[in-house]
Amino acid sequence: MTQLLTIRTLVGPAGAVIELTGELDHRTAPEVHVALRGLELRPGQQLVLDLGRLTFCDSTGITVFLAARNYALAANAAIVLAAVPARVTRVFRIAGLDEVFPTHPTVEAAEAAWRPAPS
C-alpha cells in the first residue's frame, strides 16, 4: 500500500515544525492529529506547519489546520504556515483563513520572523 502522507516533526529554535509530505485528506488527517498530540509546545513558542511538499489537501485538511491552531493557542503558542502551495492558498483566501494564519515562504523565514513572547 502506498503511503499517502508522511509527517516529520522537527524542533527548531522557535518551537516545533511539522513537515507534511503527500496527501492530507479524510484518510490521513488522523495521523496529523496524533502528531499534534505528541508535541510539547510551551507558552511563547511557535508551531510551524511546513506545507511545501503537500500535494493534496481537501476540506478535512483545512479542519486539521484549524485543530493545529487551536492546539497551539491552548498552549499559549503561535502558529504559522510555511511554503503554502498555491492551490491551498487559494482555498484559504476563499474561506477567509488567510486572515487567520500567518504565512511565510519558507520554514527559515517563519523562524526568522518569530519573536519570543516577553517574559
Q: Is residue 46 part of a domain?
A: yes
Q: Is residue 118 part of a domain?
A: no
pLDDT single digits (tens) 10-47: 998 889 999 999 999 999 999 999 999 999 899 999 99
pLDDT single digits (tens) 80-103: 999 999 988 988 898 888 999 999
pTM of the full predicted structure?
A: 0.91
- Map residue 28 onto helix, strand or coil: coil
Q: Is residue 41 part of a domain?
A: yes
Q: Is residue 119 part of a domain?
A: no
- Number of structural domains the chain divides into: 1
Dist CA 98 CA 102 (whole Å)? 7
pLDDT given at position 1: 44
Q: Is residue 64 part of a domain?
A: yes
Instruction: Indicate the residue type of 119.
Output: S
Cell of 66: 484549524
Element (H, E) at 73: helix 59-74
Q: Domain residues for 22?
A: 5-113
CATH of the domain at 18: 3.30.750.24
Q: Is residue 109 part of a domain?
A: yes
Burial of 59 (0-12, 13-18, 19+ CB in 10 A): exposed
Number of CB atoms found within 10 A of residue 9's CB = 12
